[in-house]
Amino acid sequence: MFTGIIESTGKITSIIKDKSNIHITMKSDIANQLKVDQSVAHNGVCLTVVDVRKDNSSYTVTAIDETLAKTNFKSLKVTDIINLERAMKLGDRLDGHIVQGHVDQTGKCINIKNENGSWIFTFEYDSSTQNITIEKGSITINGVSLTVINSLKNEFSVAIIPYTYSHTNFGELKINNAVNLEFDIIGKYVARITTLK
């Protein structure tokens, strides 16, 4: 379980294909706090640490075929910057919202507007999946917990403050880039219940 509050970023140093899986190694300042079997959200995708380098400067996770099919991981490349969040601790404040680390689908950045001190990012997604957004509702984009503005049937916008822009990979995001989307868990249950009636 995660909160969508990004702790750090990591830089991919190696991607090794192994049958239908990939092993991703990244350098990060939280690597020295990780151990094998821990869950870490990578751009919103919950992955298990499978190796930590002896010098504690980097670690490796494995993404399986299912993950590659449903996320933007199929387009990852060496030197990409990844948003990182370790699993939340019981008793901590829930500063973002309840995030599972289970990406529902990808979306595409279709507009970036500089608001003279902040940014409005607009994304589109395939609404035939029954996923929805609502004004002032929560959405997770590449693991970042954000509030929806301008909610439409198959697109929505979010406002990004300077801190988020500089401490996550939003500063690297460009128009047409794919992002991982995890929709609000409560909204998903409500949408599912209405389709069963």
Residue 28 contacts residue 11 (beta carbons within 8 Å): yes
Sign of CA dihedral 88, 44, 84, 121: negative
Q: How far is CA 104 from CA 22, 26, 118, in A?
A: 20, 24, 27
Query: CA end-to-end span of the chain, whole Å?
Result: 30
> How many distinct structural domains can be found in the chain?
2
110 in the same domain as 75 = no
Residue 144 lies in a domain: yes
51 in the same domain as 21 = yes
Residue 97 lies in a domain: no
Residue 142 has pLDDT above 80, yes or no: yes
Residue 2 contacts residue 102 (beta carbons within 8 Å): no
CATH code: domain of residue 36: 2.40.30.20
Share of the chain above pLDDT 90, in %: 80
Query: What pTM did the predictor assign?
Result: 0.91
Q: How far is CA 127 from CA 31, 47, 52, 74, 124, in A?
A: 37, 26, 39, 21, 9
Residue 3 lies in a domain: no
154 in the same domain as 75 = no
How does strand 8-18 pair with strand 155-160? unpaired
Residue 71 belongs to what domain range?
8-86
Residue 98 lies in a domain: no
Residue 187 lies in a domain: yes
3-class secondary structure, 70: helix
Cα–Cα distance measured from residue 29 to residue 10, given in angstroms and rounded to the nearest whole number? 8
Which tens digit of pLDDT belongs to each residue from 103-141? 999 999 999 999 999 999 999 999 888 888 999 999 999
pLDDT at 130: 81
Which tens digit of pLDDT belongs to each residue from 45-78? 999 999 999 888 999 999 999 999 999 999 999 9
pLDDT bracket for residue 159 (50, 70, 90): very high
Share of the chain above pLDDT 70, in %: 99
Last residue of a domain, one of 23, 56, 86: 86
Residue 78 contacts residue 133 (beta carbons within 8 Å): no
Residue 187 has pLDDT above 80, yes or no: no
Q: How far is CA 114 from CA 60, 90, 101, 118, 160, in A?
A: 35, 38, 29, 6, 10
Beta strands in 29-80 (DSSP E): 39-42, 45-52, 58-63
Cα–Cα distance measured from residue 40 to residue 63, given in angstroms and rounded to the nearest whole number? 12
